[in-house]
Structure 1
């Protein structure tokens, strides 16, 4: 794994187009869940192409606290769950504030140990993302939830059984919870209004390799037939489509030319359409070791209107880096965020740098939205092009942080970016990649 960053301040000398080649590895939003899934197996699992990021380190620590042997053989991460055991609450709490992954340990630990503990949960501050549905789903499976001074204690005195569930919103985390719990529950589980993101489908493929029986039907319906045992897996995760889009937006924002090896067109189709519509160019190389080349072909970028949404819509994690590019587009661009209610706070830093972005509580789009009458700022209008200037920036969360970094790279002058350790949560070797692309940065 990477050594942790020893400094939290990055000095960025902006105004240089990013040019060169980098590589992305397995998706952050799949790899951490794949590691948790290894708890369910009665044999070791082997996970390839694991990115060296902080979230992986957190999940590894949590697994090792529960008796899982985890080691890197240089080619893959090996996970041996032969001696799963209970972990101390204080030990769990040391890591829990860094990630929301502990909630997904519940189903596997209930199957393996008959109990699980949920401490305080961390993650990025982009909305409450409550665990209420997770708990309700676990209760539907037969779990009992008890509040204690140390957190929430879950037990399953009569085991876990299949059930019928319908999500109020196609939540990725809730869908993962149901999958990881249902695969060894007694009977059949039917989940309606499920998330069907590529990372969810990849998790289903992984669980199927372990011996699970899972059917994905039309209209967001997933059916899981519980089995008595699961084996280990050998799995290569899909590439990280969020990181791919982030580097693509960086190339467009800086007037650069970046080839992202490992990127796959099938995961990026919605993003690629928007990227092209605003004036970006790309080519796809489907040969082994290939990827996607993204570049600014010259001329003016074009304003656009977009709405985030669950897959196959425009991914919420794509909008922040792309908005930086939209500050350089001619005209008025409109962004309607429909997934997280607090995801536009990063725009104030862009305005500080010279962008012209107005945010609104209204739904500036045609998609029915949960936030429209709840007083959340979730729409933005970006007027461009705007000249960006260097500034002192403080990173509030992972994705906003990379957007601030892109803005600093595109701006004229020097920016001081505080809190860059947060970027290490989801972007492997980002400093080395920036250097490889010709960026002038100093840690």
Structure 2
């Protein structure tokens, strides 16, 4: 573990409940996509309440490489995008700047409309299971794009422009749905997308595009219809709050027997999480005060209850809520069952929890729910958690963004001092998490 610099290691003195309040800002899973959408507009755009996270830095850099002027406005978290001089970027610079981000693929549609050319570097991202770009590439071809493999990635052109298409996703992929929306809005004719993702962040992206002049109809049964338009303008938009971060802090309050008010959290986007939170034995209270409201999460005392939990696409229980809640379930009495149906390798982080004293067994079978696409395949995608377990401190290495925050919660709930390595990964999606932890009374320090 000598390869980590001081800024990438967090020392956590566990055993103290988290108490206090914090604020969540715009959803990571919307903000980066809205930034890309600005490229489609022929006039400037403004995005408010943007969190200071690594993903925003990556997209900002990619926009600037393509000639977009990104400036900060007078309000905290306000960004302006001037897209009057969009241009092609150097392939090597895209590769270097994108790093492990999967964002570059979403630039394809907007850049094809603006420049007639786009480039995708070899993509990275969190190692949590297959997130193939096949959906994206096939969709672009259906729109009329020509995709050619090169040594450093993929060159994409649209020699005859882009036209509408009839598409059906084999799985309601969020990324593929975003790709199709960002491409279809200026493609000639009508695009019909079946089996689309309908997560709140997708609907919010549709709101952004509609503000720009797009014509998008959301039908029942996961069908989205897009009428292409020849021109889009900029937007002014305040994104929905980050429901993943809000739930993460709620689970942290439960796991540490604490009491945390998450200002900005919104009930409508978190109903499935709140149902499970109540079933486990947590307590919450909604404050609907305009502009100042949020959700208070707390452990009411007594024992927590074991539950059966299955992740799914919206409106099911979100896969990104699973890891933090599993940490809380290590403190519940009885056997809890988790069935992960979205990412086949998302339970790898449980080995670290077992190292800390948890009792979690993973299985290939679809436990506690309906059979999923990972059943009868060699993926450990179900888990049984026996509790309550007394967690103890350990040295932990963060494998990916969401599992990383779960490791952090486990370290906070454990007795003793843990060292968490690779915390810069958490900065990809959680703004100022160290400052927020200190504000909640946690004893943590970098280095």
Q: Which TM class, normalised by the smaller chain length?
A: over 0.9
Residue 149 of structure 1, CA deviation: 1.6
Structure 2 partner of 1:204: 206
Looking at structure 1, the residues matched to 100 and 135 of structure 2 have their Cα atoms a distance apart, in angstroms, of 21
State the TM-score, normalized to the length of structure 2: 0.97
- Aligned-partner SS, 1:432: helix
Is 1:420 aligned to residue 420 of structure 2?
no
Check whether the contact 1:96–1:120 (CA below 8 A) recurs between aligned residues.
no
**Residues 183-192 or 116-125, more deviating:** 116-125
Check whether the contact 1:58–1:98 (CA below 8 A) recurs between aligned residues.
no
**Residues 124-133 or 37-46, more deviating:** 124-133
- Aligned-partner SS, 2:7: coil
Superposition pairs for residues 180-259 of structure 1, below 5 Å?
180-259=182-261
Structure 1's unaligned 5+ residue stretches are none
Residue 42 of structure 1, CA deviation: 0.4
Looking at structure 2, the residues matched to 69 and 384 of structure 1 have their Cα atoms a distance apart, in angstroms, of 53
- Aligned-partner SS, 1:7: helix
Check whether the contact 1:15–1:411 (CA below 8 A) recurs between aligned residues.
yes
Structure 2's unaligned 5+ residue stretches are none
Looking at structure 1, the residues matched to 88 and 409 of structure 2 have their Cα atoms a distance apart, in angstroms, of 43
Looking at structure 2, the residues matched to 203 and 330 of structure 1 have their Cα atoms a distance apart, in angstroms, of 41
Structure 1 partner of 2:58: 58
Looking at structure 2, the residues matched to 266 and 217 of structure 1 have their Cα atoms a distance apart, in angstroms, of 20
Is 1:384 aligned to residue 387 of structure 2?
yes
Structure 2 partner of 1:430: 433
Looking at structure 2, the residues matched to 99 and 294 of structure 1 have their Cα atoms a distance apart, in angstroms, of 32
Q: Map Cα deviations across residues 364-419 of structure 1 (whole Å, 9 max, x no partner).
A: 03233110012101000000000000000000000000000000000000101000
Q: 2:90 aligns with which of 75, 88, 91?
A: 88
Looking at structure 2, the residues matched to 242 and 179 of structure 1 have their Cα atoms a distance apart, in angstroms, of 23
Deviating 4+ runs (over 4 angstroms): none
Check whether the contact 1:97–1:120 (CA below 8 A) recurs between aligned residues.
no
Check whether the contact 2:339–2:369 (CA below 8 A) recurs between aligned residues.
no
Check whether the contact 2:122–2:152 (CA below 8 A) recurs between aligned residues.
no
- Give the number of aligned pairs: 439
Structure 2 partner of 1:373: 376
Looking at structure 1, the residues matched to 370 and 241 of structure 2 have their Cα atoms a distance apart, in angstroms, of 29
State the TM-score, normalized to the length of structure 1: 0.98
Superposition pairs for residues 147-158 of structure 1, below 5 Å?
147-158=149-160
Structure 1 partner of 2:10: 10
Structure 2 partner of 1:108: 110
Looking at structure 1, the residues matched to 369 and 163 of structure 2 have their Cα atoms a distance apart, in angstroms, of 40
Residue 225 of structure 1, CA deviation: 0.1
Check whether the contact 2:259–2:297 (CA below 8 A) recurs between aligned residues.
yes
Q: Map Cα deviations across residues 55-83 of structure 1 (whole Å, 9 max, x no partner).
A: 00000000000000001123210011100
Residue 150 of structure 1, CA deviation: 2.4
Residue 123 of structure 1, CA deviation: 1.3
Residue 6 of structure 1, CA deviation: 5.8
Structure 2 partner of 1:48: 48
Structure 1 partner of 2:315: 312
Aligned alpha-carbon RMSD (Å): 0.8
Q: 2:297 aligns with which of 278, 294, 298?
A: 294
